[in-house]
């Protein structure tokens, strides 16, 4: 069954000693597989593994993967000794100028801006073994959502394909009747051949019927078929345009407009099929 390219997956859990780790994956339609990763500092070593894991499950779409770590123990406080010394000397100088005898309290110094900073422990970087279950869980949810929307797309596309099939049958039958009537009015073989050359749509109808059958068969394919569906619908649109150009009957022309409308709506839908 076809899958949509739109979906969302998320997984969160506590991983000691890193704290709460969350991973979100969003996907929207795209011509190819395009993966954008947003990773916290110190996690670049996971980039290739994440891309490989995503590519195994997703074949097409723009993927946005975001990893967040709400750290409990990953950072340590660092005192800027040089800055606190500068603060102290500056305060001593201004105290002397203003003749203030009050001592400078250490609590005042450590509360000044920039004195404290937080630095990560270099030895603590999230490893792939810990992250792998998280990416698996998020991808499971993402694929499930894409499959759910894919089922909705399938129903709509199947319904439009059935309508198109009925319209094509009417066009085929009506065209035969009209051509038969017009041929009876032709005076000779040369005139009949010229008329058939410009007005007979049998070849286009046969090709359109073939494409329609192929299209319906692709709807049930479990593989990535979005590009193939789009190509088939382009060919169907081309045949429908030719039929419309050759039409010599108002009823056929009207049905061709309906047919082209259904094809165009299907083309819009398959833009979101993986």
Q: If you write DSSP's letter for every residue of 44-112 in order, what string do you get?
A: GGGHHHHHHHHHHH--SEEEEEEEEEE-SSSEEEEE-HHHHHHHHHHHHHHHHHTT--PPPPHHHHHTS
Q: Cα separation of 229 and 273, whole Å? A: 9
Least confident range from 35-49, 62-76, 133-147: namely 62-76
Q: Cα separation of 151 and 148, whole Å? A: 5
127 three-state secondary structure = coil
Q: Are 198 and 87 contained in the same domain?
A: no
In a domain, 95, yes or no: yes
In a domain, 114, yes or no: yes
Gyration radius from the chain CA atoms: 34
Q: Are 168 and 231 contained in the same domain?
A: yes
What average pLDDT does this structure show over 99-109? 79
DSSP 15-63: ETTTEEEEEEEEEE--SSEEEEEE--TT-GGGHHHHHHHHHHH--SEEE
Contact present, 109 and 115 (Cβ < 8 Å): yes
Q: Are 167 and 193 contained in the same domain?
A: yes
Condensed to tens digits (0 to 9), the pLDDT of residues 204-251 reads 999 999 999 999 999 888 788 999 999 999 999 999 999 998 888 899
What average pLDDT does this structure show over 38-44? 85
Contact present, 23 and 139 (Cβ < 8 Å): no
In a domain, 1, yes or no: no
- What domain range includes position 15? 7-72+126-144
- If one counts the domains in the chain, the total is 3
Q: Are 68 and 80 contained in the same domain?
A: no
């Amino acid at each position: 069954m076809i899958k949509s390219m739109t979906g969302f997956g998320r997984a969160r859990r506590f991983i000691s000693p890193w704290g709460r780790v969350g991973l979100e994956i969003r996907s929207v339609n795209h011509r190819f597989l395009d993966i954008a990763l947003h990773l916290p500092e110190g996690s670049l070593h996971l980039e290739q593994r994440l891309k490989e894991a995503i590519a195994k499950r997703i074949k097409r779409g723009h993927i946005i993967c975001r990893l967040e770590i709400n750290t409990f123990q990953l950072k340590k406080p660092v005192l800027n000794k040089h800055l606190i010394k500068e603060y102290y000397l500056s305060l001593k100088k201004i105290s002397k100028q203003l003749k203030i005898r009050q001592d400078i309290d250490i609590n005042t110094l450590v509360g000044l801006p920039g004195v404290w900073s937080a630095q990560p422990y270099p030895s603590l970087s999230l490893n792939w073994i810990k992250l792998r279950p998280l990416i698996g869980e998020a991808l499971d949810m993402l694929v499930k959502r894409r499959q759910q929307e894919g089922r909705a797309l399938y129903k709509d596309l199947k319904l439009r394909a059935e309508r198109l099939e009925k319209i094509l049958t009417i066009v085929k039958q009506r065209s035969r009747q009209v051509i038969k009537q017009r041929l009876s009015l032709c005076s000779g073989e040369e005139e009949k051949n010229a008329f058939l050359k410009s007005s007979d749509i049998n070849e286009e109808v046969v090709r359109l019927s073939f494409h329609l059958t192929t299209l319906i068969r692709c709807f049930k394919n479990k593989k990535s078929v979005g590009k193939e569906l789009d190509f088939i619908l382009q060919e169907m649109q081309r045949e429908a345009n030719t039929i419309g150009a050759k039409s010599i009957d108002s009823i056929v022309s009207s049905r061709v407009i309906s047919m082209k409308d259904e094809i165009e709506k299907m083309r819009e839908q398959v833009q979101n099929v993986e």
